[in-house]
Structure 1
Amino acid sequence: MNHKHLAEPTVSTEKIFEGKIISLYVDTVTLPNGKQATREIVHHPGAVAVLALTEKDRVILVRQFRKPCDRTLVEIPAGKLEPGEDPAECAKRELLEETGYTAKEWRHLHSMYTSPGFADEKIHLYLAKGLTKGQQELDADEFLDLMEADMAEAERLLASGEIADAKTMVALYWWMKERAKAEK
């Protein structure tokens, strides 16, 4: 299906900020009706997230403080892609660094935009199984608690709002759906 009639061609781009992780641009675009508008766009290198499941069907989670939200959240392991890095390799690296686990089985589940109204960040979600525990290799500025949860605990964490980020919610809902299909 062709949706070109909805496109917003860029007329000009102005870089406002370049940081360690993100860059902010203001683009002037032509709207479908011919008028011009501005779009504030956050460029992000992309990221991965890992739904890591143990042999006992428990999910590996991390609890960490997230300054933009000014609170502690429970999340699946995740991290930023390095320039030119393959998402599958990044997923393996992030799982090891944040949790100390390695996995024998890997499967790409989905890739999603986190906030397409203003950011181009795309997160690649992977399933990891056949886990082996090792040593965490946290970055110098990374502080987190490692935890496991069964399905009931994951549902409680969702209901309480301790899990409030989209990538973790998508991953856990996928897990719940797959488990429900397997129980039929």
Structure 2
Amino acid sequence: MKKFEEKTYHTETIYTGKIVQLDIDSVTLPDGNTSKRELIKHPGAVAVIALTDEGKLVLVEQYRKPMEKSMVEIPAGKLEPNESPESCALRELEEETGYTSDHLEKVTSFYTSPGFADEIVHLYFTDQLKKLEEGPAGDEDEFVELLELTLEEAEQMEKDERIHDAKTAYALLYWKLRGAK
């Protein structure tokens, strides 16, 4: 048995949507007592730290309904069934920014909210961008604006809470530690 393991004895799926599934798990705790866990199932996602030849970070601004505001973030998106994280990263980079790359370097993977969700984000880095002729394709229900910022500009947006999500904050820290141009 794994340390502190909770054994699931019943799962009830409450909702299955386009992006997430909500399950209620009935579990037996390590001490023998029982409890319920509300779990969000997510297919996983990718995010890309993309730097231009001028040493600027490629970001997108889009409206985020849960926060009821526009946010500035690194390009990201959810994995499709049977899609590799690297393929997804390249697809999202192209769709959201109009850039592509022949070189994506895996940085890390991390869970976004392990207290209630199984979403994992695979983070990639590239500083070898090529502009696509046709520009960003975008999703039909996604409205984004492309930004290219210096580290100082991005850090100011973080202070102003325009950059206010974990993956982009992680990206800024990684960029700074890597030695921003």
Q: TM-score range by the shorter chain?
A: over 0.9
Q: Give runs of ≥4 in structure 1 deviating > 2 Å.
A: none
Q: Is the 8 A contact 1:104 1:129 kept in 2?
A: no
Unpaired segments ≥5 residues, structure 2: none
Unpaired segments ≥5 residues, structure 1: none
Aligned counterpart, 2:164: 164
How many Å separate the matches in 1 of 2:3 and 2:142? 45
- CA positional deviation for 1:5: 2.5
How many Å separate the matches in 2 of 1:37 and 1:173? 38
Aligned counterpart, 2:64: 66
Aligned counterpart, 1:96: 94
- The letter for the 2-side match of 1:148 is E
Aligned counterpart, 2:13: 15
Q: For 1:39-58, list aligned pairs within 5 A.
A: 39-58=37-56
Q: Is the 8 A contact 1:46 1:80 kept in 2?
A: yes
TM-score, scaled to structure 2: 0.96
How many Å separate the matches in 2 of 1:172 and 1:39? 33
- CA positional deviation for 1:123: 0.5
SS where residue 85 of structure 1 aligns?
A: coil
How many Å separate the matches in 1 of 2:49 and 2:178? 13
Q: For 1:130-169, list aligned pairs within 5 A.
A: 130-134=128-132, 135-169=135-169
How many Å separate the matches in 2 of 1:144 and 1:158? 18
- The letter for the 2-side match of 1:162 is R
Q: Is the 8 A contact 1:99 1:136 kept in 2?
A: yes
Aligned counterpart, 2:35: 37
How many Å separate the matches in 1 of 2:172 and 2:30? 38
TM-score, scaled to structure 1: 0.94
Aligned counterpart, 1:179: 179
Corresponding residue pairs, total: 179
- The letter for the 1-side match of 2:162 is E
How many Å separate the matches in 2 of 1:58 and 1:105? 17
